Amino acid sequence: MNKPAEHCAHKSVDVIQQRLTDYACELTYDALTPQAIHAAKVRVIDTLGALVGGFFGESCQIARSFAAQFPCPSGATVIGTRTKTTPDVAAFVNGTTARDGEINDVYYWPGSGGGHPSDLLAPVLAAAEHAGASGREFITGVVLAYEVYLRIADASKLAGFDTTNYACLGGAVAAGKLLGLSRDQLSHCISIAAISNNALGQARTGYLSTWKAAAAGEAGRAAVSAALLARCGMQGPHLPFEGKEGWCDHVAGKRFSLDTMGGGGTPFKISDTIIKVRATCASTISSALAAEKIAPLKDVADVNRVTVELYAKAKSSRGTGEHHWNPDNRYTADHSIPYVVAATLMDGTVSHRSFDDAHLWNPELRSLLKKIELVENPEFTAAHERLPVEHRTRVTVVTSSGERLVGETGGDKGELSEQRSDAWIEDKFRGFTEDYLGAKRVKSILDRLWHLEVIGNVAEIPVAFALD
C-alpha cells in the first residue's frame, strides 16, 4: 500500500516555499530593528490616510456594495464604516479603497519588479483584526509582508503579470502567521497563494478601468483566503515555485533564491519604499514636480510646445500610446505623463481634484495635451538605473513669442524618493482625514498609530475610522 504523498520519504522540497515558511515562523517583534518598527508605523499611517482619501472613489463604492452581501460580525471591518464582513472580503474592500486615490507608497529598485508594497496593509490588518492580534504582532506582520514582497520583487520581474502578485504572496505569509497557522499550514497557505492568484499586467495597460484599483484589493482577498483555507486543512500544490509548471518558470520567468532576508544584522527592506508626495502614478510624479517649478502658466493658449525629458521607464510605461494623450477616465489620466504635466501647468500642482470630470474634459487642457512631447534623456535614464536612484525630469515650455520656461527635478534638484519627516507624514495624513474625521479624532488616531506597539488588540484601529 502506498504511503500518503504528504509523508513520502522521497518527496522533493521547494526551497523558496520552505525559506518563506521558516522565515515567517522564526521572525519575532524582538528581532525587528527600531528603524523597521518606525518604518512600519509610517506606512500604516500613510496607507490609512490614503484609504480615507480614496473612500468615495467609484471602485470603492462598488467594493462596499459587494461586501454588504457578506455580513460577518466575527470577521473584519470595512474601514470607514461600522460594517463587518468576512476577513478576505474586508481585505478586498480596504485594499481597493487604499489604492484608489493613487497616493499609497511605491517601490523602485534597479532590476526589481517594483509595484506598491502598501497593497499589503489591508490583508495584514484584516487578518490581525480577525485574530485579535496585538500591536506588536501587527507590526511584525507588516514588516514580514514587506520583506517577502520586496525580496521577491528584487529577485524577479513579472513579464506580463501584475505586481499585485507580490502583494498576494507577502500578504498570505503575514496573514498566515497572524492567524496562528502551524508550520505545515503556513507552507500550504504560501503554495495556494502562489499557484492560484497570478494577475495579468493588462489591469494596468492601455485604457484603464475601475479594476485598476480593485486589482490590489483582489490580491489582498486572495492572500487572506489562502490563509483561511490552509487553516481549515486545505493543502497547496507540491513545488509551487520550483516545479516544472511553477511560479519561477512561468510567472517570474526565471529561477531565483531568497538567500538574503532582513534580520540578524541585515536591514529590513521596508524602509526602501517611497512615500508618495502627489496623488498620481509614481512614474508621473517627477514630471509633475518639474512642471510645478514653472507653473501655473499665465496663458495656456500662448504655449507653442512642451517638451518633457525623462528616464526611459517613465516614458515607456506612462508616455507611450494614444491613450496617454486622450484619457477617458481618471484611472487612465493619473497614469498619463502628458495629462499630469498639462494639469500641473494649468493649476500649479496636481492632486486628486486634477482628475475630476471638470479637468478631464476641459477644452484648454485637451488642447495643451496635443502640444506635449516626451523625449528620453539618456543621462536621466542612467541616473534612474543606479543606486541611489534618481528620478530626474525636465519640462521645457516654449511660448509663441519664443520664451523658454524650464523646470527640473530629481537628484540635487529635489528627489521624490527622499525620506520624509514624521511631521510631514502627519500633515499628509491630516490632509486626507480631517475633513471627514475632525481634527480632534485625527490627533487621537495619530497618537495611537505612533504607539502601535502598546495596543493590546488592533481591532480598535479600523473602528476609529468610521466616517458616520
Question: For residue range 72-95, what is the model confidence (pLDDT) as tens digits?
Answer: 999 999 999 999 999 999 999 999
- With 70 as the cut, is the pLDDT of residue 40 above it? yes
- With 60 as the cut, is the pLDDT of residue 1 above it? no
pLDDT in tens, 435-466: 999 999 999 999 999 999 999 999 999 999 99
Q: CB–CB of 200/145 below 8 Å? A: no
Q: Where are the beta strands (DSSP E) in 302-446?
A: 303-310, 372-376, 393-399, 404-409
- With 90 as the cut, is the pLDDT of residue 468 above it? no
Q: CB–CB of 252/158 below 8 Å? A: yes
Q: What is the pLDDT of residue 11?
A: 80
Say which residue, 316 or 8, is predicted with more confidence. 316
Burial class (CB in 10 A: 0-12, 13-18, 19+), 301: exposed
Please, what is the average pLDDT of the chain?
96
In 132-251, which ranges are continuous DSSP H helix?
Answer: 135-155, 164-178, 183-196, 211-231, 247
Query: Which percentage of the chain shows pLDDT scores above 90?
Result: 96
pLDDT in tens, 178-214: 999 999 999 999 999 999 999 999 999 999 999 999 9
- With 90 as the cut, is the pLDDT of residue 5 above it? no
Q: Which helix (H) or strand (E) holds 328?
A: none
Average pLDDT for residues 9-29, to the nearest whole number?
A: 93
Q: What is the pLDDT of residue 307?
A: 98
Average pLDDT for residues 138-162, to the nearest whole number?
A: 96
Q: CB–CB of 162/199 below 8 Å? A: yes
Q: What is the C-alpha radius of gyration for the chain, rounded to an integer number of angstroms?
A: 22
C-alpha cell, 376: 528620453
